[in-house]
Amino acid sequence: MRRLGSARIHLATCCLLDLLSKMQYANSTSADLACYTAGHRLRMIISGNSIIVAASSQVSSGLGEEIIILECEKGVYFGLNGVGRVVWKKIQSPSRFEEIRDAIMREYEVSADRCEQDLMNLLQELHQHCLVEIRDGAAA
């Protein structure tokens, strides 16, 4: 089991090559803003039953120890490594939050509370950049 360093999971694993959050509002197209203004793209509440899956508007590939993701609608690249790579592989098919958390905890030495909070932060960030879909698992 690998020990996770003192850095938070999402900071250690989510190396954004280009940040949409730095996009100037005045220079944004309506397509760029749709991701942020549509009700389903606002900050989601994630529970243990939430189902997470990679969005269909992206393509990804492994490159060494990193996963490179292209958000096709905006043409923006992202990169994930370490724990982020574990998460990305798990969400290639719909997975419950608990399943993703458990996969991380099997591979890394990390407390359940810290793992859950950091995983929620990472998934929220991926969702805000239109890279994942988050569904209510209770309704499924």
Query: Does the pTM exceed 0.85?
Result: no
15-34 residue pLDDT tens: 333 333 333 333 333 333 34
Q: Which two tokens stand for residue 81?
A: 């490594």
Q: Which domains does the chain have, with CATH numbers?
A: 8-135 (3.90.930)
Residues with Cβ within 8 Å of 41's Cβ and at least 6 positions away in sequence, in order, are: 34, 35, 127, 128, 130
* Lowest-pLDDT choice from 17-26, 61-70, 103-112, 117-126: 17-26
What are the start-end ranges of the H helices in the chain? 9-13, 30-37, 83-90, 97-107, 112-128
Residue indicated by tokens 């942020």: 36
Pairing between β-strand 76-81 and β-strand 66-71 as defined by DSSP bridges: antiparallel
Q: Which two tokens stand for residue 121?
A: 């932060």
28-80 residue pLDDT tens: 333 333 444 343 445 667 888 899 999 999 999 999 999 999 999 888 999 99
Q: Which two tokens stand for residue 112?
A: 């359940």
Q: Which two tokens stand for residue 130?
A: 């239109």
Backbone φ, ψ for residue 66 (5° rounding): -120, 150
Pairing between β-strand 58-63 and β-strand 95-96 as defined by DSSP bridges: unpaired
Query: pLDDT at residue 89 above 90?
Result: yes
